[in-house]
Structure 1
């Protein structure tokens, strides 16, 4: 029987591990190389024109900027607004982009305590005023779109909280997804924005993952048809949420992006470099397009320079006030080649190296060095374009490195280096960015929740089952040496044998797996009901996703609760079995009750934060947070006041003094008094 129980436990762990491995393998099982010269799937260029040879002209070239997660706030860090004003005044004047993509979270929308969330008119006024003062609309085409912060506490488009409509550039004409097309030098460029904000938009924290309902998907399909009918040459998708953070009710977001042959890249924000863990979050999706997440303006002051040069897309992420800004457009960076969207042979057939260089003062020097063979001066052609004639046949095989040095009149210097390849040799994207962008956070959040649920319930249920078998004489009690392991096995075993503790410990986590978790004002003056699998509010259903991540924190607290209760129950058990009872010193009482006190403080803080986020009703009618505090206190009181009759069954198994020896519990500093 012992073998059977162990086998079940091992099989369960193997199943969980296999699921995780399968998902990671699915992400990593991606072709990282391709072959040129007729064997790769080349881009099907528009019938409007053929892509000419890459030479030294400024034709077939466009450059634009992306800025994301600005988080304009009137409560904290005024430099966000000050430096955003500098970006709109100075950076745009220097770079002169054709387009600026502002990909969401334009405002912070947090309350002064940094916990609650609601739209703040003052923040939107700052956003609008900065753009107006900088005369942005006369400098460039500003394409902004909403992020989840811009949607906090917004019940619908007619809501007085929906400031995006009146204070953004595109909001009045394009409140959701939209298409903007630009023709330059006979080349048609399409910029297709995807708005995946929840509809309606709850307050934080249940507003982290985006959603494309069937209505929005149909709207995007209409935009795709317009792109195809116009025979657009190049399409850039943009939005706030990475594709991994978007739930779709029918066609997945990636399948929509795959629809357009000329859809080269999807740029987004939202993840903020994952707290600094992933500073550069890029990947090539299996559906054949690049996905590029941009680090935030809020904390990192980043923006992105992008260019489409003769059908090849290149980019660089730049820190604010970092000059010069340099981008090599030919030869393209080997990591970011898009085999199904770009004709890589155009690099092999090109006549010139091409570089875009910008600075606050006049650029005096641009030099190129390939494979450390010496520096060569570039020629300035027009605007930011610098070129150098080259013979690409020298670099036909393998991976090579190009280095560019740029200097301006104020002696500010920038040196960049990137690999390139003409025969299909490529590099692999880093693991964490691939997982973050190619995965599905909804599945991950849900999977982690249920894994922790199993890890919480499986041990105590196993001990309960084993205990019953031992009592019935169908199984022998495990024989182990004295020590810390045996001590904690006894503690968990005793806890599982006491009905008044076992059933609440088991049933409450099971309840959390289906809910409801809370009832309260989820959005404005609208009462909603939160379940782990979704939220009902104002006649709408928002599928659960981040709710599972939120619930996982509660399961972690419950895991601590089980360990603390096991320690308390074991103390009471030994009190009854070791007659006339145990007397504990002052420090022993502290060591027994301190973990419980710390757990209670933690749960009270989490309940308080929930109250700040959703109000009094949600706090009172909150089984997830508030009621768990009460349950924890009640169970601890039960554990420390258990009558002897409740421990008799456990004593039938753990009934010898050697098994409950105080020597195995030095951590509580008990002492027997005869």
Structure 2
């Protein structure tokens, strides 16, 4: 995977056109860099660092990886902090998959998120962070700290990210909270924990309330949303542990935010009317219980129009977080209708449980950095039934993968940069001074390491062990058929009676297991060949020179095992 300068020129042209046609101040644009904007960059600001040439940030002369915007109006404070966690040295894909926040970056993020903390007693601050990489694909710093630690410390309202996009699932959202459980560092089974515990029952609503250590992480989808309901919020993806406290305190008369349904509407054409519908799902199907027009608030100065409607919120109090559902419809002057997503809400502040699909769990729920860097991770080795040559060769291959480079290749767009990939990252020399950098692209290299371990090495070891075991079982089976010796057979291998023929047929059928195992070996070799072919193309390698051990050891081991167990 490489960058194309022609595409960057087109991007610059399009962004200039968007800024001019929108009439907006160019300073409010912030193009956040992702891994695709950093492919094959040997040095920051160099010839192949196109982001530093053609991005909006480059034109505005912005420096640094952290930027923030603060809003303060009518007693409400909002803080938006964006950061770039890509590496200064960008590898070619596929080993350019993770964000790499440094200790310096984390310190800067912490500093920006600390704004207005001293004024928290006067008015709370809504904090929102945004970056390219989800936390499941963000590594830890050299000191072992992570972005999640600082997000929990500051009790973010939300962390908005990209990278995965909607093709990996529709529910790429995750509720993070301070979890002391050991396994919580490695994975989370559901989008949200089973229950959001609140201490609102014993909380004096007149006291200053310290937010819980929690935040929501949302993968921003590619679809365009023009209707954004802001209250009531989605009980699946937006409730916080403080929501129940807000409900209790409102019941005591300390808040008026529950009296109006609110929604922001963004549209290129003039909106003629906005209406809302609330459905009750208790009968087993959606039953319309409220149909009301929404009124535009003309004092609103945002680019989105704010619409509100009064309602009897107490009528929708219910112990189920998914009983009531809301949808908002906007009709423009052309008669075209647009709808918000039909979503459940809970006035009580209860959270609906939504399970991930397998793909969503794998990409959003697993903390891959933690799983990949488990101390003392040992590959599962199978006994090869006293096949000493195969066993010794397999052990030597595993030792080679542990302590020596897997292969070498050209990892930058610029010629002449030959790197060596190990299971811990790339070992390279860059610039004319031949500065050596070790373990670049960790844990990004897992996109090569894990498939090779899980889909090539481990299955190969298991298959070789099974082939050896099948040969041993076949030998025992032959001995158990009869007490006859080899000289009981004639020179052509024929027996003199039908019983012997049936036994020979049974033995032949028994070897069907071996044939099936050999077919599995071919499947592994096909998978390994595809991987080698893609790496040869990605890093301009000669397989005989740059990756002989990686490409040919497994085929030789499988061929040797097949021969020894024949």
TM-score after normalising by structure 2 = 0.69
User: In the alignment, which residue of structure 1 is the partner of 2:29?
Assistant: 142
User: In the alignment, which residue of structure 1 is the partner of 2:432?
Assistant: none
Is 1:145–1:176's contact at 8 Å kept on the other side of the alignment? Answer: no
The whole-number CA distance in structure 2 between the counterparts of 1:328 and 1:582 is: 82
User: In the alignment, which residue of structure 2 is the partner of 1:520?
Assistant: 409
The answer as to 2:74 corresponding to 1:166 is no
User: In the alignment, which residue of structure 2 is the partner of 1:444?
Assistant: 371
Candidates 581, 594, 603, aligned match of 2:528? 603
Q: CA deviation at 1:542?
A: 3.0
Matched position secondary structure for 2:159: strand
Q: CA deviation at 1:270?
A: 1.0
Is 2:137–2:368's contact at 8 Å kept on the other side of the alignment? Answer: yes
The answer as to 2:171 corresponding to 1:280 is yes
User: In the alignment, which residue of structure 1 is the partner of 2:386?
Assistant: 497
Paired residues, number = 458
Candidates 531, 535, 548, aligned match of 2:426? 535
CA 1:227/1:582 → structure 2, altered by over 3 Å: closer, same or farther?
farther
User: In the alignment, which residue of structure 1 is the partner of 2:5?
Assistant: 121
Candidates 62, 66, 69, aligned match of 1:178? 66
Matched position secondary structure for 1:419: strand
Is 2:3–2:39's contact at 8 Å kept on the other side of the alignment? Answer: yes
CA 1:415/1:600 → structure 2, altered by over 3 Å: closer, same or farther?
closer
Q: CA deviation at 1:179?
A: 1.9
The whole-number CA distance in structure 1 between the counterparts of 2:71 and 2:38 is: 32
The answer as to 2:144 corresponding to 1:223 is no
CA 1:552/1:503 → structure 2, altered by over 3 Å: closer, same or farther?
same
Q: Where do 1:500-579 residues align within 5 Å? A: 500-523=389-412, 524=414, 525-538=416-429, 539-540=436-437, 541-542=439-440, 544-555=442-453, 556-562=455-461, 565=464
CA RMSD of aligned residues (A): 3.9
Is 2:330–2:339's contact at 8 Å kept on the other side of the alignment? Answer: yes
Q: CA deviation at 1:343?
A: 5.0
Is 1:519–1:617's contact at 8 Å kept on the other side of the alignment? Answer: no
The whole-number CA distance in structure 2 between the counterparts of 1:572 and 1:349 is: 75
CA 1:614/1:581 → structure 2, altered by over 3 Å: closer, same or farther?
farther
Unaligned 5+ runs, structure 1: 1-116, 304-317, 319-324, 461-494, 648-667, 669-674
User: In the alignment, which residue of structure 2 is the partner of 1:56?
Assistant: none
Q: CA deviation at 1:193?
A: 1.2
Q: CA deviation at 1:425?
A: 2.1
Matched position secondary structure for 2:92: coil
User: In the alignment, which residue of structure 2 is the partner of 1:102?
Assistant: none
User: In the alignment, which residue of structure 2 is the partner of 1:381?
Assistant: 297
Deviations 1:355-402 (A, max 9, x none): 223444433332223343241222223362222122333334544433
Q: CA deviation at 1:506?
A: 3.3
CA 1:639/1:184 → structure 2, altered by over 3 Å: closer, same or farther?
closer
User: In the alignment, which residue of structure 2 is the partner of 1:292?
Assistant: 218
Unaligned 5+ runs, structure 2: 178-212, 281-287, 299-303, 430-435, 480-484, 495-506
The whole-number CA distance in structure 2 between the counterparts of 1:572 and 1:219 is: 62
The whole-number CA distance in structure 2 between the counterparts of 1:591 and 1:519 is: 35
CA 1:131/1:514 → structure 2, altered by over 3 Å: closer, same or farther?
same
Q: CA deviation at 1:248?
A: 1.9
Deviations 1:205-232 (A, max 9, x none): 1111111122222333343355657989
Is 1:572–1:641's contact at 8 Å kept on the other side of the alignment? Answer: no
The answer as to 2:149 corresponding to 1:255 is yes
Farther off after superposition, 236-245 or 249-258: 249-258
Matched position secondary structure for 1:144: coil
Is 1:521–1:615's contact at 8 Å kept on the other side of the alignment? Answer: yes
Q: Where do 1:303-322 residues align within 5 Å? A: 303=224, 318=225
The whole-number CA distance in structure 1 between the counterparts of 2:356 and 2:34 is: 26
Q: CA deviation at 1:565?
A: 4.7
User: In the alignment, which residue of structure 1 is the partner of 2:232?
Assistant: 331
User: In the alignment, which residue of structure 2 is the partner of 1:355?
Assistant: 263
Q: CA deviation at 1:601?
A: 4.2
User: In the alignment, which residue of structure 1 is the partner of 2:347?
Assistant: 422
Q: CA deviation at 1:294?
A: 1.7
CA 1:354/1:582 → structure 2, altered by over 3 Å: closer, same or farther?
farther
Deviations 1:541-586 (A, max 9, x none): 436324334223223223443466568768988799995799999x
Matched position secondary structure for 1:615: coil
CA 1:636/1:581 → structure 2, altered by over 3 Å: closer, same or farther?
farther
User: In the alignment, which residue of structure 1 is the partner of 2:312?
Assistant: 391
The whole-number CA distance in structure 1 between the counterparts of 2:112 and 2:545 is: 46
CA 1:441/1:635 → structure 2, altered by over 3 Å: closer, same or farther?
closer
Q: CA deviation at 1:130?
A: 0.6
CA 1:331/1:560 → structure 2, altered by over 3 Å: closer, same or farther?
closer
The whole-number CA distance in structure 2 between the counterparts of 1:600 and 1:421 is: 54
More helix by share: 1
Deviations 1:260-284 (A, max 9, x none): 35x32110011233x44x2121122
CA 1:163/1:227 → structure 2, altered by over 3 Å: closer, same or farther?
farther
Is 2:94–2:447's contact at 8 Å kept on the other side of the alignment? Answer: no
The whole-number CA distance in structure 1 between the counterparts of 2:493 and 2:138 is: 58
User: In the alignment, which residue of structure 2 is the partner of 1:209?
Assistant: 98
TM-score after normalising by structure 1 = 0.59
Matched position secondary structure for 1:211: coil
Is 1:189–1:233's contact at 8 Å kept on the other side of the alignment? Answer: yes
Q: Where do 1:575-586 residues align within 5 Å? A: none
Q: CA deviation at 1:498?
A: 1.9
CA 1:389/1:597 → structure 2, altered by over 3 Å: closer, same or farther?
closer
Q: CA deviation at 1:348?
A: 5.8
Q: Where do 1:37-48 residues align within 5 Å? A: none
The whole-number CA distance in structure 1 between the counterparts of 2:517 and 2:152 is: 59
The whole-number CA distance in structure 2 between the counterparts of 1:380 and 1:208 is: 44
Matched position secondary structure for 1:407: strand
The answer as to 2:129 corresponding to 1:237 is yes
Matched position secondary structure for 1:201: coil
Q: CA deviation at 1:350?
A: 3.5
